[in-house]
Structure 1
Amino acid sequence: MNKRLFLLIAYTCLFTAIPLCSADDNQLTDQEQSEGWQLLFNGKDYDGWKCNNGKEVASEVFDGSMQPYKSGGYLILHEKTFGNFVLKCDVKMPESCNSGIFLRVEDPANPVHTGFEIQVASGTGTSCHDFGAIYDLVPTTKNVSKGPGTWNRVEIKCLGPNISVTVNDELVCQMNADEFDLPGERAIDGDHKYKLDGKSRVIKDFARTGLLGFQDHGHPVWYKNVKVLPLP
């Protein structure tokens, strides 16, 4: 093989191995920008974010990642509200973890009972309290978490009554809220946790627009590449 041909093959292999649409952490790719994605976390500070109690976020940004732990509130919430959207982020957990990603929160003062939660948790189970489940409503079909100390890709789509969860590129949970039109009804036996004035809520009646954020449930959890694509 002559030297010129060898160099041509080497350069071809090098550049085809590097995705042309890649971007650094906490930045949008050119394709994402053209599609209308919005970057919600800049990797440097909590601009655009506050605790659900209105306080400034007290926790520090760690190595380009947001950290709800000891933030000063139960959730850190983005200032914008979203209805139909796709949210994606990378999540890393400690060895023991029970936390969540909250969506369509109606009342920041009561997010537990007025917003949906996508479970972020250590373990290998497939209940409605395991990684990727729509918390206390719909169990995950499979647990594809890479485990503690490793980044997991999460993508959540909300479109009307439909919510779907993808973890590490695998669809693991889906829900049509309109199917739960009775108080306390969920995908499995038993009553769910969502109540107002002591009465079980009807999931069909949940708001279709609200705030999104990340929970401080007593465990350090890290998030980066937090991006949202509003849908019509």
Structure 2
Amino acid sequence: MAKTTLSLCTLALLLSLSACQPAAQKNGEEASDAQTGEAAPLNTLTDAEQADGWKLLFNGQNADGWHVYLRDTVDGWAIENGELIALGQAGLEGLGNDIVTDAEYENFELSIEWKVSEAGNSGIFFNVVESPDYKAVYETGPEYQLIDDEGFPMELETWQHTGANYAMHPPAKKAYKPVGEFNHTRIIVNKGHVEHWLNGEKVVEYEMWTPEWETLVKEGKWKDYPAYGRAHKGHIALQDHGNQAWFRNIKLKVL
């Protein structure tokens, strides 16, 4: 009888301990794969993604494949908990610590998760030309805007909101999550056709190099930047705009 009682107590204790364990990796150690719906560890590819041609641009351990624009370092960035972090050491003009991919891309789909600090501001760029002729990535590459829409200290234009093609096309809807939560972004670039997706919603769609595009460039913020949006391929860039920003699950598929 004593042995039976002990066994029952042991079983109850084990069940109690099991119930106290958190669900598998719920607090950011595991993320849902956007393409397949499968749960996958951070910064990894599922079998389905690998078969579909996706590759990682960030392995969660180091900054291999990235460097600061016009430099061979990754100064101003850190890697913690599988996240690539802009430390916000650059000036608020966003100069100095933007990082770019070592490789260039032309037609692709980019999938990335991100969040910004309170009142934070950052961006994702593509078709960036890396040359001493241009002091910053924004002089050549279109930008998918990332910002704290609710907490930014200045009033924002519509084309400054999260998901916008910065200074060109405002987002069609608000699909961002509260500051401090990770958002999921997809950017599709295919022969001049561009789509911005945010948390499963398509928020911007446009065609590059059309008469409408040229009019927006000539009449807007980029009129004094002759190289803006001209390249048909280039580097992908993550912006350090003087605020902290976090990135993870950075994946790309060549189209």
Shift of 1:34: 0.2
Moved over 4 A (4+): 200-203
**1:49 CA displacement:** 0.8
Q: Give the aligned residue type for 2:82.
A: G
Mapping of residues 21-40 of structure 1, within 5 Å:
21-40=38-57
Encode CA deviations 1:168-207: one digit per residue, 9 max, x unaligned.
Answer: 0000001101324675x229x94232534xxx5675xx11
Corresponding position of 1:57: 74
Q: Which amino acid aligns with 2:59?
A: N
Q: Do the aligned partners of residues 30 and 108 (structure 1) sit closer, same or farther apart at CA in structure 2, a change above 3 Å counting?
A: farther
Letter paired with 2:220: D
- Once the two structures are superposed, what CA deviation does each residue of 1:131-163 show, in whole Å capped at 9, x if it has no partner? 000011111111210021001000000001111
Instruction: State yes or no: 1:67 paired with 2:85.
Output: yes
Deviation at 1:70, TM superposition (A): 4.7
Partner of 2:106: 83
Question: Is 1:121 matched up with 2:116?
Answer: no
1:160 to 175, 191, 200: 191
Q: Are positions 1:174 and 2:205 aligned together?
A: yes
Task: Check 1:108–1:127 CA distance in 2 against 1; reply closer, same or farther (3 A cut).
Answer: farther
Which residue pairs with 2:242 in the alignment? 218
- Is the Cα contact below 8 Å between 2:116 and 2:122 reproduced in 1? no
Report the CA distance shift for 1:140/1:57 in structure 2 as closer, same or farther (over 3 A).
same
8 Å contact kept, 1:120–1:130: yes
The alignment-based identity, stated in percent, is: 28
In structure 2, the gaps of 5 or more residues are 1-31, 91-95, 151-155
- Residue aligned with 1:136, SS: coil
Unaligned runs of 5+ in 1: 1-17
1:32 & 1:23 partners in 2: Cα distance?
11
Q: CA RMSD in A?
A: 2.4
Q: Which structure would you say has the larger Rg? A: 2
Query: Residue 186 of structure 1 corresponds to which residue in structure 2?
Result: 216
Q: TM-score, normalised by structure 1?
A: 0.81
Aligned pair count? Answer: 207
